[in-house]
Each structure stands twice: as C-alpha cells, then as structure tokens.
Amino acid sequence: MTSEYFLVNHQLAINVKLLNSDENIPDDQQFEQEIPAPFRMASDLANIDTQALHSLKLNNETTQALWFYLQAQNQKINTLLTYVLSQQDEQKFHYQTTAFSAGCCLFHCPDNTFAMDQNVRLKIFIPEESAAIYCYARVSSVDNDSVELTYQQIREEDRELLIRASLHIQSKQLKFRATQRTQSL
C-alpha cells in the first residue's frame, strides 16, 4: 500500500456499495449534484467550525463567557447532526475501517465480496468531527479479508476534513500512549 497521506489506525463506520457494471464514477459536476444533503451540510458545518471560532479573542471575562456559550451551542448542533448522519448508515453496506487516511481506507470483509479495481460508492462517518463524507473509491488491494479503497472522486474540503480528523485522532492516540507510559513507570 502506498499513500501520500498519513494512515491512522482507527475504526470508523463506513458504507461500501459496489457500483453496477453499467455505472461509472461520475464527473465533477454530476458528483456535486449527487451528494446527499446531510453529507454536504456536515462538510459545510465542519468547515465553518474550523474558521469561525478561532478568530474570537479571549482577552476578558465577557469574551470567555461568550466562547463557552458558543461552544455549548455548537455541541448541541453537532449532537443533532451526528444523529441525522447516523440515519444515512445503511446496515447492508456497513463495515468498520481498521485504518484511514485522506487518500484511502482499509477494512475487513471476511466474505470476499470485493475484487481488485471494482468501483464503489463510499460513505465515511466521522463522529469525532460530527461529519460524514460521500465519495467514490476503487478497490486498490485485497489481501485475505482486508480490503483497501483508494478515493477516486472526493471533494477537496472533504479530503481536508479527513486530514484534520486523522490528525485529531492521532493526537489523542499519542496522548493516551504517553499517559500509559507514565502510569507504568
């Protein structure tokens, strides 16, 4: 497996639906029109979160109180959004990743459903970011029951969301390992 993006070991819920033999990965315009509204909304809200609150200066008690209030409102919206996105998870296409990056994801499929170079419609659910991504991928590797999907049609803002999510998850994993090391000393 080769990838230009950092691969993080983490379980995410995904839906993987094989394209029929008469279906192709859509072009950019068709793809944009096809993205379900909850996925578009989740991506847009995730981008707003990263841009809007960081500019607030926390230099007095009033702005700190405002910051906490805005964070609470954001958490309410994220909770509702996570619920809405969970409704998009189709059980018959449901798998769990073993690892993911901004370029690919890996998952176990013990029933050998997938073969090399097949195209799939992919939904990636990222509860840590209250987000989900709708994209297309190609089966780039099948090794026993492990399948690798390489993203073929994905919005750039969704790729950036995957980068942020992988960095956040990696940071949490490193902090957890550091805590374990200090506790074992």
pLDDT tens for 162-177 read 999 999 999 988 888 8
For the stretch 133-159, pLDDT in tens is 999 999 999 998 999 999 999 999 999
| Residue 77 in domain | yes
For the stretch 50-99, pLDDT in tens is 666 566 666 667 777 877 887 788 778 878 888 888 888 999 999 999 99
For the stretch 97-133, pLDDT in tens is 999 999 999 999 988 889 999 999 999 999 888 889 9
| Residue 53 in domain | yes
Residue type (1 letter), 128? E
Using alpha carbons, select from 99, 101, 149 the residue that is nearest to residue 4: 101
Structure pTM?
0.85
| Residue 142 in domain | yes
| Residue 27 in domain | yes
| Residue 1 in domain | no
| Residue 3 in domain | no
| Residue 2 in domain | no
Q: What is the domain count for the chain?
A: 1
Q: What distance in Å separates the CA atoms of residue 125 and residue 122, rounded to the nearest whole number?
A: 10
Q: Which domain holds residue 76?
A: 8-184
Q: CATH number of the domain at 13, please.
A: 2.40.10.430
